[in-house]
Every structure is written in C-alpha cells, then in structure tokens.
Amino acid sequence: MTSQNEIRDGDSRPLHHAKSEAPEVMYVPRYTGVQRVNHWITAILFTLLTLSGLAMFTPYLFSLTGLFGGGQATRAIHPWFGVALAVSFFFLFVRFWKLNIPNKDDVAWSMKIGDVVTNREDRLPELGKYNAGQKGVFWGQTALIGVMFVTGLMIWNTYFGGLTTIETQRWALLAHSLAAVIAIAIIVVHIYAGIWVRGTGRAMVRGTVTGGWAYRHHRKWFRQIAGSKERRGSVDKRGS
C-alpha cells in the first residue's frame, strides 16, 4: 500500500492511502483558491463579453442577444460586463505581473519554438513559473483589455456620449472592435495550449500539478519549490 504526497509550506504530507500499488505521485501547489476564483471570474466575464459583443458586431450573430434578454438588454449590459472584467483582471494583474516579467530564459525558449511544438522538452531551457508564450498571453491581454476599457468608455453614450465627438467615437469603436478580435484570438490559443499540454488544466481546477509536469515544463520553478522544502516555512503560500 502506498500513499500520495503533497508539498505544501516546504513540507511533504500524505494525501490519502491508495487502494493499489500505483506509483507514488507528488503534487506541487501552483495556484491558491483565491487565484483560481479570480481567474474563473475573469474567464466567465470574458465569455459573456465575447457573446454579447459578437451579438452586436454582426447581424449574423444577433440571435445571441437572446441569451441576455434581447437587443436592448444586450446593449445595456455589455458595458457593465466590461467594467466588471476590468476590475477582475486588475486583481489578476496585481497578483501575477512580477512573475510575467520577461527574462533571458524567454528569449532562449522562443528561439527553440520548433522544439516546443514538437514536444522535445529535453532541448528547451529550464524555465520559471511561466514560459514566454504564457507571458505573451498575460501582457497581450493586459494591453488589449486596457484598450477595450478606455475605448468602451468613449463609446458608452449613456454616460459619456457628450464628452467625445462622433468622429472620435467612430475611431474608438474601430479600435475597440479590433482589440476584441485579437483578444478573442489570444484566448483561443490560450485555451488550446491548456488542453494541448496535458496536466495543465488541473492547475486551474484543483490548484496543483504533478511533480513530473512541473519538472518537465517549468523545471527552474520546480527546483525553487523543491528547494524550499529544505527551508520549511519559506514557501510562498500564494503559489508564486
């Protein structure tokens, strides 16, 4: 009979007893509960914004307004979804911006993108908690959500219509739409990458990854976590 272990606070503790002779699996904390809730609230708001925005973007998708109670209701609630998303993403930004600062490892990783897509992990440099692609998603969404928030206010006629000219609003609407299309494309890639890299989804569902996943994809970060085991009490409980 074997048991699974989990590293938390620099200590290893048993999770539960397995019924069979299954190999021992070590789990590494990657995200706290608060971070996951923040992430999923942001994801849900982004989805609602996408659906309501696409409903107003083209007549072919106008039927999506039925999800929000009709055309007028969709037009009224879409900006509020945007405000809520900006607030939720702000907290994500505060939590993760330091970990997403680019470094020389990102340059080395990007130069081996061919090995990345062909899963030749042994040829890649050791990485911290995030790779260059993940950092690109983070900073890309930061810039695009910022653009959408500002331009969204400029075209929110209910409250700010009198503050800008019609011509300014037209340019703002164009920028708002382009930013939204790019942001949606980035999220599609983000979701695909999360499915493509087996074991990634567990991090945002259960908050942990296996030791094997951490060693294979973010070895430098894993070494930091493992090293903290030797310094009990020094592990960042926020999973950073």
User: Around Cβ 196, how many Cβ atoms within 10 Å?
Assistant: 11
First-last CA distance in the chain: 33
pLDDT of residue 231: 66
Point out the least confidently predicted range of 25-29, 67-71, 178-182.
Answer: 25-29
* The predicted structure's pLDDT at residue 138: 97
> Can you give the pLDDT at residue 229?
67
At residue 128, the pLDDT reads 94
Residue 191: the pLDDT is: 94
Give yes or no for a contact between 210 and 199, defined as CB atoms under 8 angstroms apart: yes
Which residues contact residue 18 at a Cβ distance below 8 angstroms, ignoring those fewer than 6 apart? 1, 2, 3, 4
Does 190 participate in catalysis according to the annotation? Answer: yes
H/E element, 12: strand 11-17
Q: 0.95 exceeded by the pTM?
A: no
Q: pLDDT confidence of 21, banded at 50, 70, 90?
A: low
Mean pLDDT of 144-164: 94
| Helices and strands (DSSP H and E) totals, the chain | 10, 4
Active-site residue, from 17, 78, 190, 217: 190
